Each structure stands twice: as structure tokens, then as C-alpha cells.
Amino acid sequence: MPRIAAIDCGTNSIRLLVADVTVHEDGRRSLRDVHREMRIVRLGQGVDATGRLAPAALDRTRAALTDYAAICRRRGAERVRMVATSATRDASNRDEFFAMTESVLGVTAEVITGDEEAGLSFTGAVGDLDPDDGPFVVTDIGGGSTEVVTGTWDGVRAEVTGALSVDIGCVRLTERCLRGDPPTPEEVAAGRELAAETLQKAFDVVPVADARTWVGVAGTITTLSAVRQDLPEYDSERTHLSRLSDAEIDEVAGRLLAASHDERAAIGSMHPGRVDVIGAGALITQVLAEKFAEAAGIAELLVSEHDILDGIAFSQL
């Protein structure tokens, strides 16, 4: 039962999982969390406009990684894998990022392809679901991109049947369209049009019509569930495997898009680092719901706290 560490560095957040992995006699694998943590570092702040990682963003990421490296040592992690996604793929000064991660963490961060990212997300998301509820479609809304992945799960291994990562995420959409506080109806309409146009690229090539269950992962989706439940503070046990109907998605998205920065910040379950971008994330979720209803007749979202981070952990076996 090895103890491993997984780090997922995205456009908006950087997350750590230290876990013990058990491989059962029938081939099933399971994780037991030792430590799980998320910090908002906004590594991708301004990358869409400048093409470069900002010095302040690199400093925030270095500070988080320094703490994560110390946690890995204290917890006795035998292996560490760090995956970096959209922001670092796009940045002209990405070599600065890799040099920093190597010096702080002692391992080289891997910039994975969109297909690899999608496969890891799918594996992590479906690992504790009932195979009979498949085929599944998994969506992961990040800061700079959104992944749409379809596949099956037989209780032992996942098989991806289609995947695409498209360049729309909560940070990117906020910076491009939702500049008001709160955003104006015209900004929301422009954001909806951009999200729909960009997401359609995934729906054109990924076989979503075959899916029976839509699974949403990562911070935007879990936050929407927490807000819809009116949780006084964030509680992953309450959000994991919760469900949101299309009507509930519309209600919470409308509420967040109409709220000011201060009103969003006052929500007890809202992470401070998501206050600026949750409206855009909610809008992307709303567009996804509309497209899944049309393409596959799916009218409900299953929320999962297990995602690419768990997939990175499993990948080390």
C-alpha cells in the first residue's frame, strides 16, 4: 500500500493529494486520503492577454508549492507526480515555471496534452460510481479550458471513448467578457455566446449522445452545489455525489451572475479565490446543461469531488 502524492496545477488553483493506494485482489484500486488541499494561485492571470506568466502569479505558485513539498515530506509520500495544464501550455516564459517547480519540489512538472488531461479526469471522476449508470460524460471546468470526456467504467478500469479540451474556462471567460460588477446583461449574453460557440467544438467530436450520466468535477461545479444547498461553510461530504437538476443550475447561475463581488464574497461556502470567477464558471455550466439536454436527453448533473487529482494518484501505480 504505497503512499503517493499528486499535485494538479491549473490556471486558477493548485491542489495536493497525499493518499494511500490499495490494490484489491479483484484488481480494484482505492484511495484513502491522508491529506487533500486546494489553494487559489491564479497562475494563469493575464496569460490570455499577454502570453506570459506574471511574476506575481509565479510567486504565489512558488509559495504554495513550498508548503506542499513540506507536507509531502512530513506525510512520508514515497512518490510525487505534478501535472500542469492550460496556463503553462500557453505561456511563452513557461521555462521559468519549470525551473521553479524543479527547485522547490524536486520533480519536474509535466505539461500534459488535452487528451491526457481528459483521461486522468475521467478515471478520477468515475472510480467510485456504479458501472450500470454508464456510459458517462465527465466535464471539468478549469480556469483556462474545459474538458468533455465520454467513456465507460467496469468497476476496475475506465475506458475513454472520446475527449476534447477546449479553450474556455472561468478565468478566461471572466477576463474576456464579464468585466462588470455585476456583469451587465450584454456582457452575460456575450459570454454565453462565446461559451456556446467554443463548447460546440467538443460536442461536434465527442460522442455525448451515448452518455447516460453527466458527472461534473472540479471547483466550479462543487461550489455551485454548495451554494445551491445554502451550506453555511464548504463541506465536501455534502457536495460529493450531490445532484443538480437543470432548473437548479439555472437558478444558482442566475443568482451568481446577478450578484456583486461583495455579495458573492459573503456566501459562506464560497472560497475567496473563486469570488471573481464563479459567475463565468456558472455560465459555462449552464451552457453545458443546455447542450447535454439537447444532445443526450440528460437533465441532471452528478457532482463529484473526485477528479484529475485522483486520476494523477492512480496513474502512479
Number of domains comprising the chain: 2
What's the CATH number where 62 sits?
3.30.420.40
Would 313 be classed as within a structural domain?
Answer: no
pLDDT value of position 158: 84
Strands 146-153 and 158-166: antiparallel
Would 137 be classed as within a structural domain?
Answer: yes
Q: What is the rounded CA–CA span in Å between residue 294 and residue 278?
A: 24
Would 314 be classed as within a structural domain?
Answer: no
Amino acid identity of 168?
A: I
Q: How many residues does the chain have?
A: 317
The answer on 58 and 195 residing in a single domain is no
The answer on 185 and 268 residing in a single domain is yes
Would 120 be classed as within a structural domain?
Answer: no
Q: What is the rounded CA–CA span in Å between residue 244 and residue 216?
A: 10
pTM metric for this prediction: 0.79
Report the 3 state secondary structure along the chain.
CCEEEEEEECCCEEEEEEEEEEECCCCCEEEEEEEEEEEECCCCCCHHHHCCCCHHHHHHHHHHHHHHHHHHHHHCCCEEEEEECHHHHHCCCHHHHHHHHHHHHCCCCEECCHHHHHHHHHHHHHCCCCHHHCCEEEEEECCCCEEEEEEEECCCCEEEEEEEEECCCHHHHHHHCCCCCCCCHHHHHHHHHHHHHHHHHHHHHCCHHHCCEEEEECHHHHHHHHHHCCCCCCCHHHHCCCEEEHHHHHHHHHHHHHCCHHHHHCCCCCCHHHCCCHHHHHHHHHHHHHHHHHHHCCCEEEEECCCHHHHHHHCCC
Amino acid identity of 268?
A: G
What's the CATH number where 268 sits?
3.30.420.150
The answer on 236 and 165 residing in a single domain is yes
Q: What is the rounded CA–CA span in Å between residue 95 and residue 78?
A: 26
Q: What is the rounded CA–CA span in Å between residue 184 and residue 181?
A: 8
Amino acid identity of 234?
A: Y
Would 48 be classed as within a structural domain?
Answer: yes
The answer on 56 and 189 residing in a single domain is no
Q: What is the rounded CA–CA span in Å between residue 162 and residue 206?
A: 5
Domain encompassing residue 66:
3-111
The answer on 298 and 220 residing in a single domain is yes
Tens place of pLDDT per residue across the chain (317 aa): 789 999 999 888 899 999 998 777 766 677 888 999 989 898 888 887 899 999 999 999 999 999 999 999 999 999 999 998 767 877 899 899 999 999 999 998 998 877 787 788 888 899 888 889 999 999 989 888 898 999 998 877 788 999 998 989 998 999 999 999 999 999 999 999 999 999 999 999 999 999 999 999 988 999 999 999 999 999 988 999 999 999 999 999 999 999 999 999 999 999 998 999 999 999 999 999 999 999 999 999 999 998 889 989 988 87
